[in-house]
Structure 1
Amino acid sequence: MNATLPGPAPRLTVEDLSVHYGGVCAVSNIGFTVEPGQSVGVIGANGAGKTSTLKALMGLVPRTSGRITLGGTDLSRAKARDMVRHGIGYVPEGRHVFPGLPVEKNLLLGAYARAWNKEVHQQLDEIYDLFPVLGEMRHRLAGALSGGQQQMLAMGRALMSRPRLLILDEPSMGLSPKLVGSILDVLLRLRDEGLSLLLVEQNAKLTFGVTSHCIVMENGEAAMAGSSAELSHDPRVREVYLGL
């Protein structure tokens, strides 16, 4: 499946991003980059600020401060719809599919920012190749799908925009080990095809298996950062996040 837009993916740069909810600081001056074709993971405990970081990046919650650029374009004030038009796909925590619509219509909604032509319908076949169960259930209401199938649908919907960077928030949450393995296989396939990935996960093993670089968040800050291979062998990370 060619999930990417023509040409190389742009470089995402996040600098000094902060988020406050009322008087509470959820994210404090975090910064990172996602290079073209790179896969970056963010791990941390509940409440560490992972989801707030992604939501602020996507323009879904107000950014207290910070600068976001994509391929040199300043998106610091951009809303979520603008992010999609600039080539960023987003798979939210909790899937958020449209339960009263069939699978296929959910997928087509992911292409809202694209010109409506035969390529959109051709891409449906690519999504069904990536997730065969969605093809089998294309006329079934999304609300009737299992949690794992809904996760596949949320990923397929984001890919319908043909992103050059795909952001995923807790894609393995609530899934059985078998389904987690299926999601891992898809992410590896997308990564190997050159799609840039930014992955937030509590499942550190999955994250280290997919990404080349990783950030460990604690209390809204980046406590550690480095290559996924190095962090996976760090004694503290192994004890806290891998249970070893």
Structure 2
Amino acid sequence: MKAADTGPAGTLTVEDLSVHYGGVRAVGSIGFTVAPGESVGIIGANGAGKTSTLKALMGLVPRSGGRITLGGRDLTRVRARDMVRHGIGYVPEGRHVFSGLSVEKNLMLGAYSRPWNDGTRRRLDEVHALFPVLGEMRDRPAGALSGGQQQMLAIGRALMAGPRLLVLDEPSMGLSPKLVGSILDVLLKLREEGMSLLLVEQNAKLTFGVTSSCVVMENGEVAMTGTSAELSRDPRVREVYLGL
């Protein structure tokens, strides 16, 4: 799926990002990069600060400090609603589809930052090709979809703006192994097409299958970094962080 012309296609750089909730540190001065076309995972035990990191990156929770750039453009003060205009798509934990609206209207809302033209219609066709069930159920209320179908809708909605970087928070949560495999296939296809991915995911098979490198978080800090192949074989990562 070709990205829209949404600004620089350069590296996402996160520097010294920190988050506090009521004086309690959730994330402390972490940093990482996602190069164009790269797929990076953030892994760690529950409560490690993974979701807080993504929400702070997207501007959904206040940052206590840090700097975020994409292709050299400073996004630190960009509002959450405007991140999509800079080429970052977001698939939140728990899907958060608009249950009372049709599948088609949910997808169209994903393109709110783009003019509705032939390019946007083509992107809608591409989303239907990725997730045929969304085309088949286009007129149904999103709330009538199964959990797996709603996850497909959440991903499709994020893709409608043609992002250069897709940020996903727990895309396999609550899904059957078969549906997890379907999500894995879609993310691999997007990666092959050159889209950058940043993924928080508890499913180790999906994480290591999709990503080229990972950041391991512990207590709001970066504990380890490495290639996904290396970390998937690391006994400490498997036992302490992934429970394998």
User: Structure 1 length normalisation: TM-score?
Assistant: 0.97
After superposition, the C-alpha distances for 1:137-181 in whole angstroms (9 at most, x for unaligned) are 000000000000000000000000100000000000000000000
After TM superposition, give the deviation of residue 3 of structure 1 in Å.
3.7
Which amino acid in 2 is paired with 1:23? G
Is this contact kept in 2: 1:43–1:50, CA < 8 A? yes
Distance in 2, matches of 1:237 and 1:9, equals: 32
Which amino acid in 1 is paired with 2:76? S
The match for 1:20 is 20
After TM superposition, give the deviation of residue 122 of structure 1 in Å.
2.1
3-state secondary structure, aligned to 1:180: helix
Greater shift, 126-135 or 7-16, is seen at 7-16
3-state secondary structure, aligned to 1:52: helix
3-state secondary structure, aligned to 1:20: strand
Percent of aligned pairs with the same residue?
A: 80
Is this contact kept in 2: 1:103–1:138, CA < 8 A? yes
Distance in 1, matches of 2:172 and 2:36, equals: 24
Distance in 1, matches of 2:138 and 2:182, equals: 19
Distance in 2, matches of 1:149 and 1:174, equals: 12
The match for 1:81 is 81
Greater shift, 230-239 or 31-40, is seen at 230-239
Is this contact kept in 1: 2:147–2:175, CA < 8 A? yes
RMSD of aligned residue pairs (Cα, Å): 1.3
CA distance 1:230–1:148, shift in 2 (3 Å): same
Distance in 1, matches of 2:55 and 2:155, equals: 17
Is this contact kept in 2: 1:8–1:36, CA < 8 A? no
Which amino acid in 2 is paired with 1:239? E
After TM superposition, give the deviation of residue 241 of structure 1 in Å.
4.5
Which amino acid in 2 is paired with 1:107? L
3-state secondary structure, aligned to 1:42: strand
Is this contact kept in 2: 1:208–1:232, CA < 8 A? yes
Which amino acid in 1 is paired with 2:197? L
Which amino acid in 2 is paired with 1:149? Q
The match for 1:210 is 210
After TM superposition, give the deviation of residue 45 of structure 1 in Å.
1.5
Distance in 2, matches of 1:65 and 1:242, equals: 28
Which amino acid in 2 is paired with 1:35? A
3-state secondary structure, aligned to 1:5: coil
Is this contact kept in 1: 2:68–2:76, CA < 8 A? yes
The match for 1:66 is 66
Which amino acid in 2 is paired with 1:148? G
Which amino acid in 2 is paired with 1:238? R
> How many residues are aligned here?
243
3-state secondary structure, aligned to 2:17: strand
Distance in 1, matches of 2:17 and 2:91, equals: 20
The match for 2:47 is 47
Distance in 2, matches of 1:66 and 1:243, equals: 31
3-state secondary structure, aligned to 2:82: helix
- Spell out the pairing of 1:27-176 with structure 2 (5 A cutoff): 27-176=27-176
After TM superposition, give the deviation of residue 242 of structure 1 in Å.
4.9
Distance in 2, matches of 1:32 and 1:158, equals: 22
Is this contact kept in 2: 1:3–1:159, CA < 8 A? no
The match for 1:4 is 3
Is this contact kept in 1: 2:43–2:50, CA < 8 A? yes
CA distance 1:125–1:95, shift in 2 (3 Å): same
3-state secondary structure, aligned to 1:238: helix
After TM superposition, give the deviation of residue 200 of structure 1 in Å.
0.4
Which amino acid in 2 is paired with 1:147? G
User: Structure 2 length normalisation: TM-score?
Assistant: 0.97
Is this contact kept in 1: 2:9–2:70, CA < 8 A? no
Greater shift, 24-33 or 117-126, is seen at 117-126
3-state secondary structure, aligned to 1:125: helix
Is this contact kept in 2: 1:9–1:196, CA < 8 A? no
The match for 1:229 is 229
Distance in 1, matches of 2:135 and 2:125, equals: 8
